[in-house]
């Protein structure tokens, strides 16, 4: 099986020129097949505020009404995605920017209303691996924004960590998939303000414990939920690390174990 590296980048990394430039340089140097999945939540929140659109988050997930859907479509599918693609082209990495609607690569259903109405948020139902494989066979690197569609003309906001995990699971049938979640911290920290509190390895039991006592919260919850789901569904390895460590395998961050 060929190797495939899926890198999901979020946090400040994609919104600051210097850190994004370094990330793209490092990403370009990854050998073999690769896919970049990006967030951009801080930019979406900032632009929403300028437009007078209120932001509501629940456990790191964005509640998306019609106005917020317009904002995230503009920011994720436009501003952030095309900046990344242009940056990769400048470094000699032939990239194409996609949402889930492009080439029908990711279909979702609107999340059912339970305790919380998340609005126009999609839960992934199907990943079209054929189109992605064809692109990579032609030497094209997919850059995927966290937007999906329902096949009936409706775009849906979908958590970028979830998209990375769902892509990794679907593509693990044809590739040996390594999934890397990277951001501005060194990995999963027991104290988010202290980089020296890095948790080198985490398994499901430790995760339950840390979640129950509040050590882990907010945006790290969907990241770890998706990491464990990926590992249990055929993905070879999942690492959560600092974007600076992409080309430094000895600095592995947090290794997620079954």
What pLDDT is attached to residue 251?
Answer: 75
Strands (E), the chain: 2-9, 33-38, 56-58, 61-63, 95-98, 106-110, 122-127, 141-144, 147-149, 155-157, 175-183, 201-202, 237-242, 254-256
CA distances from 176 to 33, 56, 118, 127, 238 (A): 10, 37, 34, 17, 12
Assess contact for 243 and 13: CB atoms under 8 A: yes
Joined tokens for residue 82? 């095309």
Give me the pLDDT at residue 196, please. Answer: 85
Q: Where are the domains of the chain?
A: 2-256
3-state secondary structure of 180: strand
Report how far apart, in Å, the C-alpha atoms of 185 and of each of 7, 97, 147, 206, 246 are.
15, 26, 25, 20, 13
**What's residue 23's pLDDT?**
95
Q: What pTM, to 2 d.p., does this model score?
A: 0.93
From residue 40, give the alpha-carbon distance in Å to each of 1, 125, 212. 32, 23, 28
Low-confidence ranges of the chain (pLDDT < 50): none
Q: Which CATH number fits domain 2-256: 2.30.110.10, 3.40.1160.10, 3.40.50.720, 3.40.640.10?
A: 3.40.1160.10
State residue 61's pLDDT score: 81
Name the 3-class secondary structure at 44: helix
pLDDT, residue 203, reads 93
Q: What is the DSSP letter of 128?
A: -
Token couple for 251: 């600095």
User: What pLDDT was estimated at residue 247?
Assistant: 85
């Amino acid at each position: 099986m060929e190797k495939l590296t899926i890198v999901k980048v979020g946090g400040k990394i994609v919104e600051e020129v210097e850190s994004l430039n370094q990330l793209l340089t490092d990403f370009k140097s990854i050998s073999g097949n690769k896919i970049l999945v990006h967030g951009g939540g801080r930019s979406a929140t900032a632009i929403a505020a300028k437009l007078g659109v209120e932001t509501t988050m629940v456990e790191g997930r964005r509640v998306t009404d019609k106005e917020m859907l317009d904002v995230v479509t503009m920011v994720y599918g436009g501003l952030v995605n095309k900046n990344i693609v242009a940056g990769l082209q400048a470094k000699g990495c032939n990239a194409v920017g996609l949402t889930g609607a492009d080439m029908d690569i990711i279909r979702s259903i609107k999340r059912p209303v339970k305790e919380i109405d998340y609005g126009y948020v999609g839960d992934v139902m199907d990943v079209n691996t054929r189109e992605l494989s064809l692109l990579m066979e032609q030497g094209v690197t997919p850059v995927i924004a966290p937007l999906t569609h329902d096949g009936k003309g409706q775009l849906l906001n979908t958590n970028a960590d979830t998209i990375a995990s769902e892509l990794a699971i679907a593509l693990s049938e044809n590739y040996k998939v390594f999934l890397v979640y990277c951001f501005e911290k060194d990995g999963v920290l027991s104290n988010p303000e202290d980089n020296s509190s890095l948790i080198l390895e985490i398994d499901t039991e430790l995760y339950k414990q840390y979640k129950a006592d509040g050590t882990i919260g907010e945006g790290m919850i969907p990241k770890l939920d998706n990491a464990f789901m990926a590992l249990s569904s055929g993905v070879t390895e999942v690492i959560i690390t600092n974007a600076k460590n992409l080309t430094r395998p000895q600095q592995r961050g947090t290794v997620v174990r079954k």
